[in-house]
Amino acid sequence: MKLSVIMPVFNEKKTIREIIAKVMAVPIPIELVIVDDASTDGTRDILKEYEGKPNIQVYYHEKNKGKAGAIKTGIPHTTGDIISIQDGDLETNPNDFVHLTEPIKKGDAQVVYGSRYYGGDEKSLYSAYKFGARFLSVVVNVLYNQNITDEATCYKVFRADILKQIPLTYDRFEFCPEVTAKVSKMGYKIKELPMNYYPRSFEEGKKMNWRDGVKALWVLVKYRFVS
């Protein structure tokens, strides 16, 4: 089974070459769909080098739409049996895709999340960010009868046909709560497995903040009571 990795990118000039190399070195059948979300730091010039490379597709937004907007652009271009998301930074280790895809390949799960907190291992730079991520996970568990520890994880892995039938409404960081809510309402239990995590600071380019957490909470509550 082939894994399609969608990589939304915005101003990741410092890390883009390294993360692309890491994804393409993962020892499973893989394709990479990169969507540049109107970067202004030279990232787009670097991505030109990858156009036409085997198993790599590159697309460009002329206006910034947000992470979910880039993911929505990428989904129709995927050809794999499994789809996951990869940020353009170095906070995660793409080799985790090997074990995160196994439950789907074996038919034991349809949706798998990599957790930064699996087994109580706390790996987060900011205590407020960690609290927010864990709080949102509790909200998911209460509202949607799941049992997860990391709702906001980047590594969300889906059977491709499931993700492709989900109508995604939002364009920015609301992708995580929206897709979590909608797969839950479709009746799928989310399986969690541990993942590696190397948090970067806001000075290094981290983009999420407390406002995104508030929006995520609203999305989770909204979709629980809206069909």
Between 3.90.550.10, 1.10.540.10, 3.50.50.60, 3.40.50.2020, what CATH number should domain 3-225 receive?
Answer: 3.90.550.10
Ranges of each domain in the chain? 3-225
Percent of the chain with pLDDT strictly greater than 70: 90
- The model's pLDDT over 134-182, given as tens digits with 9 standing for 90+, comes to 899 999 999 999 999 999 999 999 999 999 999 999 887 899 999 999 9
Position 45 confidence tier, pLDDT thresholds 50, 70, 90: very high
The tally of CA atoms less than 13 A away on the side-chain side of residue 3 is: 28
CA angle (42, 16, 64) in 5-degree steps: 55
Pairing of strands 82-85, 111-115: unpaired
Which amino acid is it at 80? G
- Quick one: pLDDT at residue 133? 81
Structure tokens at 87: 């940020």
DSSP for 158-187 reads: EEHHHHHTS-----STTHHHHHHHHHHHTT
pTM above 0.85, yes or no: yes
